[in-house]
Amino acid sequence: MGDSEGGAAADAFRVAIVRFDSTDRVGSRDGVPGVLLFAGGQRIVVSSKKETKRNQWAKVRLLEGVSEVENTNTMLRAEVVEIFGPVGDFPNELYAYQV
């Protein structure tokens, strides 16, 4: 019972780079753009009020059936589950690739 539920939930999580250095905000004022890892450059939008100007590695959960359209490019909506740390910091990048 717990194993099948845990397996399905684990598949819903993805690793992404959230682009806090971007001045673009999508949808609401809190919509921060990002890119999924190992997804062919699939763009996402996450809601975050984090005050930083550095891009961050993060674990995200994709929201089903919700997307934003920006200049004919579809951006999937996601929520931040965990922030691993800044892009460019070797231990954080290694951890992001291992998750």
For the segment(s) 13-98, the CATH number from 2.40.160, 3.30.2000, 2.40.50, 1.20.5 is: 2.40.50
In the chain the beta strands, taken as DSSP E runs, fall at: 13-18, 31-36, 43-47, 56-70, 73-86
What was the pLDDT predicted at 48?
Answer: 83
Find the helix or strand (DSSP H, E) in which 5 lies: helix 2-11
What was the pLDDT predicted at 19?
Answer: 92
What was the pLDDT predicted at 72?
Answer: 44
**C-beta separation of 53 from 21 below 8 A:** yes
What was the pLDDT predicted at 23?
Answer: 81
CB within 8 Å of 41: residues ≥ 6 apart:
35
| Whole-number CA gyration radius for the chain | 14
Find the helix or strand (DSSP H, E) in which 94 lies: helix 90-98
**C-beta separation of 43 from 35 below 8 A:** yes
pLDDT digits (tens, 9 = 90+) for 54-68: 999 999 999 876 656
Euclidean distance between CA atoms 52 and 66, whole angstroms: 26
The residue ranges of the chain whose pLDDT is under 50 are: 1-10, 71-72
